[in-house]
Amino acid sequence: MASPSSSDTYEGTDRWLPRLLETGEWSDCKIITATKTFNVHRCIVGSKSTVFKAAFDGGFREAETGEMRVEESERVIQELLELMYCVDPSVGPPIVLDGTDASFASEAEHRIDIIVAADKYNVALRVDQFNPCSTISNIKEPEIYMPLWSRVYSNDASNFRRLRASVVDWISGKTSEIMQSEVAWRTLHEDRELWQAVTQLLEERNRPVQGAEEPLESNSPQDGPEDFVETPRGWSESANASAG
């Protein structure tokens, strides 16, 4: 009898892992969200996540009960498990957005939640698969997109740190628009680390190239971040006070 080829073996593995997640067959532990219980397998989730391994194979209550309650949503855990069970992302239902700011914001929040959860449970993922930046950049209203950019920039998860330069670059090109919204401006101004990164980038862009003619004198103040991003009139004092 001929032995199976490597391609046959791979295709078989590619099929049975997702099927185990779908059916829960031979499961020996549970991951419980507020709305759904997932029947999973210690050998799989433990091999993909050091956190799940410690929970189900250590001296914790979860190892005795075989159950682990999590605070993440059903959808977030579903997608994390699909990563661990090697589910092909192209076979799932397509993401349908209606083109409104609300739909883009909801999808961006979900992608951020997945990256946060992956970092929390130490699950490997490809950032480009869940990158929220492309979704946030479709949002038109500054008061909606600015809190999302701040959340991406300020999170300390390693996958978010890789996105920080893109966040700063995008915001630096939208400062005039952001100034028109008090909510958006406050959000940027109160996130001191992001604020400083944006103003530093704008300073570098405005710095004259060596050997070039000196730029015309600016009417902007010559100290503080407002050199590079003008504070909107009418509420600059309260904005500065809140950031202080």
163-198 pLDDT per residue, tens: 999 999 999 999 999 999 999 999 999 999 999 999
pLDDT on residue 236: 38
Assigned domain for 21 exists: yes
Q: Is 43 a member of any domain? A: yes
Domain that holds residue 49: 16-73
110-143 residue pLDDT tens:
999 999 999 999 999 888 889 999 999 999 999 9
Binned at pLDDT 50, 70 and 90, residue 97 comes out as confident
pLDDT digits (tens, 9 = 90+) for 219-237: 443 333 333 344 443 333 3
Q: How many CB atoms lie within 10 A of CB 125?
A: 17
Q: In this structure, are strands 29-32 and 37-40 parallel, antiparallel, or unpaired?
A: antiparallel
Q: How many domains does the chain have?
A: 1
CA distances from 81 to 36, 123, 148, 174 (A): 13, 9, 25, 37
Measured distance CA(21)–CA(39) in Å, rounded: 7
Residue 38 located in a structural domain: yes
Looking at the domain assignment, is residue 205 inside a domain? no
The Cα-based distances of 122 to 53, 68, 73 in angstroms read 10, 16, 17
Identify the CATH number of the domain in which residue 53 sits: 3.30.710.10
In a domain, 25, yes or no: yes
Residues 6+ apart with CB under 8 A from 129: 89
In a domain, 8, yes or no: no
Tally DSSP H helices, then E strands, for the chain: 15, 3
Residue 195 within a domain: no
In a domain, 22, yes or no: yes
**Of 18, 159, 15, nearest in space to 82 by CA:** 18
